[in-house]
Amino acid sequence: MQSTRKCPKCHSPSLVYNEENNTLYCQNCGAVIEEEITLDSSFQQFEEERSEITYKHIEPLDELAEERDRKLMERFIAVVNEIANKHRLHKQVCKLAEEYFLNLIKTGKKITLDKIEQYAIALTYLAARKFNFPISYKALVREFDQSEKISRLINQLRSELKIDLKPLGLKEFLSAVLDELKIKDLDFANEVMSLIQEAQNRGLIIGKDIRGVVGGAIYIVAKSFGMRISQLKIAKACGVTEITIRNRSLELVPLYRELTGKEVALRKYRKKRPKVKF
C-alpha cells in the first residue's frame, strides 16, 4: 500500500512523524510539512500506511567509488556522530548532514582531510537548523578548537548547496529547548512565552539574540516554579554562554515581577578581584 501524501517540495512519500517535536517532516529533503500536529484518526491511518512503505536510505559510502572520497566520508561521519552524541541530535540531522557532504563530493569540490572537522561543524549546524534544532556553531568551534572562520564556511556551503533556512521561530525554538531540558509542564511553557512576548511588545529585547532571551526567561520561571536547574545547563541547551543567560535574566526579572507579582531573587555576577600578594 502506498501513502497518498507526499512532500510538497521534493514529492517524496517518505514522511516521518517526530513525536518529540510533534512535527511531520520529509525524510528525503528535511522539509517540515506540519507542526504541532494533533494525532487524529486520519493521521494515525497515515502512520499505519507509512509503516508499510519500504524506504531504504542510501548510505553515503555506497555512493562513493574512490578510496580517497570514502576516507573523507568515513572521517566526516565519525565527527558528525561525535557532535550528535554530545548534543543529543536526532539521527535525521546526521543523515541530512551526510547527504550534504555527499553532494559536495559529487560536485568535485576539493576537500582535504585536515578540513573535515570544519565541514562537519558547518554542515551539522546547517542540518540542525533545517530541523529547527537549537545548536550554536560557536560552541562547536570551541569544542573542536577551530577558528571563527567557520561562519564564512557556513554561508559558503549554504549558498553552494542552495540550503533554504527559515528564521528560527520563537515558539519552535522554545519547544526544542524545553524538550532538551526535559521540561513538560505546559503552565511553565506558557509563562515563559508570555514573558518573552510582553518583552517583545515593550521593545525590551530589540537586537538581542533570541536564544539568550529564551534562556533567561526559562531561568527566571524555573526559579519561580522552584525547579533546580543551573544557568550552565540552560546555556548549553540554548547554545549560548552562562553570562548571556545571567544578563538576560537580570534584564527580564523586573518585568516578570510586574506581570506576575512573584518575587524571584537573582544574584548579580561580580568579578573576583585578583589577590594581591605582599
Confidence at residue 273, expressed as pLDDT on a 0 to 100 scale:
54
Residue 261 DSSP class: -
Does the pLDDT of residue 19 top 70, yes or no?
A: no
Taken in order of first residue, the domains within the chain and their CATH numbers are 1-56 (2.20.25.10), 60-160 (1.10.472.10), 170-260 (1.10.472.10)
Q: Would you place residue 176 in the very low, low, confident or very high pLDDT band (cuts 50, 70, 90)?
A: confident
* DSSP secondary structure letter of residue 60: G
- CA 267: distance to chain centroid? 29
Cell, residue 2: 502506498
pLDDT of residue 2: 36
pLDDT above 50 (res 129):
yes
Residue 50 reports pLDDT greater than 50: no
Strands annotated E in 98-165 = none
272 falls in which pLDDT band (50, 70, 90)?
Answer: low
Give pLDDT, residue 121: 93
The pTM of this model reads: 0.53
pLDDT band at 245 (very low <50, low <70, confident <90, very high): very high
Q: Cell for 240? A: 549560548
Distances (CA, A) of 154 to 19, 32, 120, 131: 29, 21, 10, 16
- Per-residue pLDDT, 27: 67
Query: Edge-to-edge strands of the sheet including 32-35?
Result: 15-18, 23-26, 32-35
User: What's the CA dihedral at 103, 106, 112, 113 to 10 degrees?
Assistant: 70
**pLDDT of 211 over the 60 cut:** yes
Q: CA dihedral in degrees (33, 39, 44, 50; nearest 10)? A: 20
pLDDT higher than threshold 70 for residue 277: no
Do 253 and 200 contact (CB within 8 A), yes or no? no
